[in-house]
């Protein structure tokens, strides 16, 4: 039958059908505003360890994470840096496109999907079932599913159980500076890569892409004269940036159309990425193969063929970073 149809008609029909299907799938994957820009829903569980309801205790709380998720990765990095592995156990979940979300390797409380787990904790819950998830095993309750708040708790509230309690990633003297960086980096970089990848109009994509690379350029200049964002010490601002940078060249550059430059094309950002990756315990939280598998294999509207790229090689992260020299440069200025 195709031999009797004009090629232009076949192509136009295919484009129309695929575009409509893509729009439907994207509306489920990524909510948008009137201009087609991605709008990330807010986290809904916002309790805190440290109050009377959730007192600090070793072994009481569990983290549910996905190894490909940058937001969950933040919590794993802080857990490793603080030495909280014995105090905070971890359960890893995996994305399943056929089941529409995160699933367990083996059922948890008779739940196969993380969405069922959320509903068990809060009957009638209809929000997103996201990671990271901080769980209170004693009360069988969700404490928090907002990564930016969980990492503060891990830094501040469990020091008596930490192997490195003196490491403070959120020191009071730097908190205003840390929050200034967070306010800049979250919309333009952490969420900015998603705003590029999930944009549903050219206008929305162009704006997100411009903000992303303008901010990366600014950070590159800042890191010319200092080792970390706030000076000579690592903070939660660096942790929050690191997990996006780690995924950038492998996933966001190609799949999310963030392809003006790679992180490895920025001398300071590339060295900074290697510096943090090589801190004790951090590399063990990094699973580049899971990142590629989950992004390319599960985001069907962005990669319908499901083909997973072979690179980049993680060995580049083990090369010397030479970031110590930035301390001396900063001191001389």
Q: Tell me which residues are annotated as active site.
A: 69, 194
- The beta strands (E) that lie in the chain are given as 61-65, 90-96, 101-108, 111-113, 133-136, 141-144
Distance, CA of 90 to CA of 96 (rounded, Å): 19
Dist CA 259 CA 281 (whole Å): 30
**For 250, what's the count of Cα atoms within 13 Å in the CB-facing half-sphere?**
27
Question: In 3D, which of 124, 119, 147 has the Cα closest to residue 63?
Answer: 147
Sequence-ordered list of residues with C-beta below 8 angstroms from that of 327, at least 6 positions apart, any chain: 226, 227, 232
Going by C-beta distance under 8 Å and a sequence separation of 6 or more, which residues neighbour residue 50? 56, 153, 156, 157
Find out whether 109 and 194 touch, Cβ atoms under 8 Å: no
The gap between the terminal CA atoms of the chain, to the nearest Å, is 75
* 230 HSE (CA, 13 A, CB side): 23
Picking from 213, 217, 265, 276, the residue whose alpha carbon sits closest to that of residue 241 is 276
């Amino acid at each position: 039958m195709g031999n009797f149809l004009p090629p232009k008609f076949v192509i136009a029909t295919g484009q129309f059908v695929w575009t409509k299907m893509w729009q439907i799938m994207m509306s489920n994957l990524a909510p948008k505003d009137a201009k087609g820009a991605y709008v990330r829903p807010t986290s809904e569980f916002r309790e805190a360890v440290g109050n009377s309801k959730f007192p600090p205790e070793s072994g009481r709380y569990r983290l549910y994470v996905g190894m490909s998720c940058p937001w969950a990765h933040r919590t794993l990095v802080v857990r490793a840096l603080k030495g909280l592995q014995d105090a905070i156990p971890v359960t890893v979940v995996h994305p399943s496109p056929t089941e529409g979300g995160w699933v367990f390797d083996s059922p948890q409380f008779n739940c196969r999907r993380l969405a069922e787990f959320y509903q068990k904790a809060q009957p009638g819950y209809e929000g997103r079932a996201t990671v990271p998830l901080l769980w209170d095993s004693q009360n069988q309750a969700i404490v928090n599913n907002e990564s930016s708040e969980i990492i503060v708790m891990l830094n501040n509230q469990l020091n008596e159980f930490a192997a490195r309690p003196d490491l403070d990633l959120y020191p009071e003297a730097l908190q205003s500076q840390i929050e200034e960086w967070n306010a800049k980096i979250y919309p333009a970089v952490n969420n900015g890569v998603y705003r590029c990848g999930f944009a549903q109009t050219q206008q929305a994509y162009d704006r997100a892409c411009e903000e992303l690379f303008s901010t990366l350029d600014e950070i590159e200049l800042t890191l010319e004269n200092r080792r970390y964002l706030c000076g000579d010490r690592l903070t939660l601002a660096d942790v929050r940036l690191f997990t996006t940078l780690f995924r950038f060249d492998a996933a966001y550059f190609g799949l999310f159309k963030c392809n003006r430059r790679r992180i490895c094309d920025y001398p300071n950002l590339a060295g900074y990425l290697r510096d943090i990756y090589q801190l004790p315990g951090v590399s063990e939280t990094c699973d580049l193969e899971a990142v590629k598998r989950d992004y390319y294999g599960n985001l069907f509207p962005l990669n319908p063929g499901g083909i997973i790229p072979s690179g980049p090689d993680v060995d580049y992260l083990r090369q010397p970073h030479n970031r110590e020299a930035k301390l001396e440069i900063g001191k001389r200025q």
